Amino acid sequence: MPKRKKIYGLLAEFPNPAALYHACEKVRDAGYAAWDAYSPFPVHGLEKAMGLGRSVVPWIVAIMGFSGAGLGFLMQWWMSAVDYPLIISAKPYNSYPAFVPVTFELGILLGSFGAVFGMFALNRLPQLYHSLFNSDRFAKVTDDGFFIAIEARDPNYDPVRTRTLLEEAGAIAVEEVED
């Protein structure tokens, strides 16, 4: 007898963004936690329908941005006033008005890095393998497929009841995906 494969969860396909949106509300209200919605393009307000909390990204951006600005200023102060002091057009070594652009730019640069890489980290990207790619149907997600996947590790998960929930929420196809 072949070894039974582990199940990742249930994948449900929905016909359009509106159906996906309302299905998300139902899954959210049923109290699931380990699930996600997939769409070829951003669906406005989906984060509310999914009941997602506030993103942590702004805090990462704030910390990175302030660090960038601080380090930018320190770097210039250290270079022009400590390590290699030069008198330039009779200005003091620590001529902070001249440091403003670089300070600002480094604040923005590190803030942007924080936004992009912080988002990557929170989404655990890049991922070389994801169970959902075991489903042939899931390839449609880059074109015209709208999906919800509820993971088997969710405490509310039940192969029958979860399937019924998804079907009642308007899924046009529900399938079990191997891990």
Partner 1 sequence: MSAHHVSVEDLAPDQIRLPEKSGWRKLPAVGGVLALVGIGGAFAMKSGNEQQFYYSYLTSLLFWLAIGLGGYFFTLVQHATRAGWSIVVRRLAENVMITLPVLGLLALPIFLGIHDLYHWSHEEVVANDPMLSWKAPYLNTGDFLVRGVVYIVVWAIVAFLFYTWSTRQDGSGDPAPLAHKMRGFAPFGLVLFGLSVTFAAIDWIMSLDPHWFSTIFGVYYFAGIVVSIHAFLAVVVVLLQRSGVLRGVVTPEHYHDIGKMMFAFSVFWAYIAYSQYMLYWYASIPEETYWFAYRGHGGWLVLSLLLVFGRFAIPFVLFMSRRWKRKASSLVFWAAWMLVGQYLDMYWLVQPVLAHEHGSDQIHFGILDVLTFIGIGGAFLAVFGWALGRAALVPVRDPRLEESLNFENF
Q: How far apart, in Å, do the first and last CA atoms of the chain sit?
A: 19
Is 122 a binding residue for partner 1 by CB under 8 A? The answer is no
Exactly one of 5, 44, 130, 161 binds partner 1 (CB under 8 A); which one? 44
Exactly one of 31, 58, 85, 92 binds partner 1 (CB under 8 A); which one? 58
Which of 115/132 has CB closer to partner 1? Answer: 115
Min dist. Cβ of residue 162 to partner 1 (A): 25
Min dist. Cβ of residue 66 to partner 1 (A): 9
For residue 146, give both structure tokens: 């709208």
Is 74 a binding residue for partner 1 by CB under 8 A? The answer is no
Exactly one of 97, 125, 126, 128 binds partner 1 (CB under 8 A); which one? 97
Which of 18/33 has CB closer to partner 1? Answer: 18
d(C-alpha 61, C-alpha 18), whole Å: 32
The runs of H, that is alpha helices, within the chain are 17-29, 46-49, 57-77, 96-122, 159-168
Which of 21/147 has CB closer to partner 1? Answer: 21
Which of 61/165 has CB closer to partner 1? Answer: 61
Is 1 a binding residue for partner 1 by CB under 8 A? The answer is no
Instruction: Name the residue with tokens 């959210």.
Output: 28
Closest CA to 79 of 95, 97, 100: 95
Using CB under 8 A, list all residues that contact partner 1. 17-18, 21, 42-46, 58, 89-91, 97-98, 100-101
